[in-house]
Structure 1
Amino acid sequence: MQFSDSALTGALRRSRRTRYTPRMPALHVNVDHVATVRQARRTTAPDPVHAAVLAELAGADGITVHLREDRRHIQDRDVRLLRETVQTRLNLEMAPTAAMCEIAVALGPDVAMLVPEKREEITTEGGLDVYAHKDSVREAVARLHDAGLPVSLFLDPEMKQIDAALELGVETVELHTGKYADATTEEERRLELDILMTAGARVRDEGMQLNAGHGLNYHNVRPVAAIPGVRELHIGHGIVGRAVLVGFERAVREMKDLMTGPFG
């Protein structure tokens, strides 16, 4: 399926006329760190595909995986099997490179999410700098759109990044919540939450879907889940860490209960 420039522009304009209807955010479970445990021994267990099945049985609304260029955790075999078995939605995180775009086009995830990637980092350290690398990101977005794949950008909550995302015509922005999650004082936490809320309002006002994630856990998720208009939260390490102690299904159910319960 091909998308012309005029079709994309028209779709974006129509989406901006659609007003947001309040609803609880969906939970997308990232199973990368199940694969991290497996790769520590280069064996076959635990299997992230099995974890995805359990997550869905426990009520997860989607599954997220990051196929890194160095294959440090999720492997090509994993994404192939997940595409065949995931019953909800599969979100593929990927670097905006030609090689990764070709994999995404062949795989056909429900959403292709472009994220920054450095081989030496332990985990993703910040949002994709679309403002500084607009031309290269534009090429990746165009390739994915040409294949009919919706695109999400993982961005720091900065207006210049959101403006760049709007210019590229993507459907979704996921705000990087790392600074909020790393805050050590209540004052700092409130400041970072205010920044997320302001950026989130801009994303929604421009007609893009608002998602959020990174560093969210059982102690800090509720204020982010309560941000007006947030549609999805993508959570991995916190759930996997708890699952080691209480089991995967229970860990997912407890997170979803925190996200969707009444907010005081």
Structure 2
Amino acid sequence: MPVLVVNVDHVATLRQQRRGIEPEPATAAHLAELAGARGIIVHLREDRRHIIDRDVKLLASCLNTRMHLEMAATREMQGIAQETNPYMVCLVPEKREELTTEGGLAVAGRVEHLRDYLAPIHAKGIKSSLFIEADVTQIDAAKAVGSEFIEIHTGHFADAKTPEAQQKEFEKIVRGIEYARSIDLRVNLGHGLNYTNIFMFKDVPGIDEYSIGHSIISRAVLVGMDRAVRDMVEIIRTFAE
């Protein structure tokens, strides 16, 4: 059955508003683990707007589940991944002016470059994923790169303004999942998923992980981290019934 991995970036966003020491992302991560999360995600952006190097090193040393490190495909991040040895790296596109990641990574046309980039990471036994659109061309390219996983970008689905538009994006994602599984790629979903729209995936097979951050942290502000994570874990658990 699919599992929940929780992104704690926006705990760090709140901390960085004052450049202080609270709230602590590692504490939030441990509470998420206790509530049933099967992994913790952090995105170390080049501008360090939320998660900082210290957070990555601390989490790498103290998590009880596993750490997923989202990052741009830069030499700096390659070195940090090799140093901190996360369970998985997920390569994402990154623009300094964006509020959050706006779309999938362009893998097609960069296969050789990304394969070479990931080679020393794979050599350390670190798994890799590519954050891409549910597009056959990009999925084929991800397979050629040699990643075991892809994470399909669900942002367009989450941001759809009408039921018809949302259904169209949903169907595109489902076709992407089916195709990826047919060529032996494992599939995670992430970006913009929340306590309401996730129910559309209840009967969709082939999903390994739901990567969710913003909606969980938003709920946690009001009801606490434990309750927020347990609520989402319970939703996902019902998908297997």
Runs of 4+ aligned structure 1 residues displaced above 3 Å come to none
Aligned to 2:153: 176
Aligned to 1:208: 185
Aligned to 1:114: 91
Stretches of structure 1 lacking an aligned partner (at least 5 in a row): 1-22
SS at match of 1:119: coil
Count of aligned pairs: 241
**Residue pair 1:215, 1:237 contacting (<8 A) in 2 also:** yes
Distance in 2 between residues matched to 1:136 and 1:208, nearest whole Å: 20
Please provide the CA RMSD for this pair. Answer: 1.3
Q: Summarize the alignment of residues 15-94 of structure 1 with structure 2, pairs less than 5 Å apart.
A: 23=1, 25-94=2-71
Aligned to 2:72: 95
> How far off is 1:135 after superposition?
3.5
Out of 120, 130, 150, the residue aligned to residue 143 of structure 1 is: 120
Encode CA deviations 1:201-259: one digit per residue, 9 max, x unaligned: 11111111110000001110122353211010000000000100010100001111112
Aligned to 2:207: 230
Distance in 1 between residues matched to 2:239 and 2:135, nearest whole Å: 29
Aligned to 1:131: 108
Distance in 1 between residues matched to 2:17 and 2:185, nearest whole Å: 38
> How far off is 1:184 after superposition?
1.6
Aligned to 1:17: none
AA partner of residue 205 (structure 2): P
Aligned to 1:195: 172
Out of 170, 193, 196, the residue aligned to residue 219 of structure 1 is: 196
> How far off is 1:262 after superposition?
4.5
Distance in 2 between residues matched to 1:146 and 1:254, nearest whole Å: 37
Encode CA deviations 1:153-208: one digit per residue, 9 max, x unaligned: 00011110001011111100000000110112111111111100000011111111
Stretches of structure 2 lacking an aligned partner (at least 5 in a row): none
Encode CA deviations 1:9-45: one digit per residue, 9 max, x unaligned: xxxxxxxxxxxxxx2x100000000000000000000
Deviates more, 1:45-54 or 1:178-187: 178-187
Aligned to 1:157: 134
**Residue pair 2:69, 2:90 contacting (<8 A) in 1 also:** yes
Taking structure 2 as the reference length, the TM-score comes to 0.97
Aligned to 1:254: 231
Percent same amino acid among aligned pairs? 50
SS at match of 1:137: helix
Encode CA deviations 1:53-88: one digit per residue, 9 max, x unaligned: 000011111100001111110011101110111111
AA partner of residue 225 (structure 2): F
> How far off is 1:106 after superposition?
0.7
Distance in 1 between residues matched to 2:100 and 2:206, nearest whole Å: 27
> How far off is 1:263 after superposition?
7.4
Distance 1:258 1:161, change over 3 A: same
Distance 1:262 1:235, change over 3 A: closer
SS at match of 1:181: helix
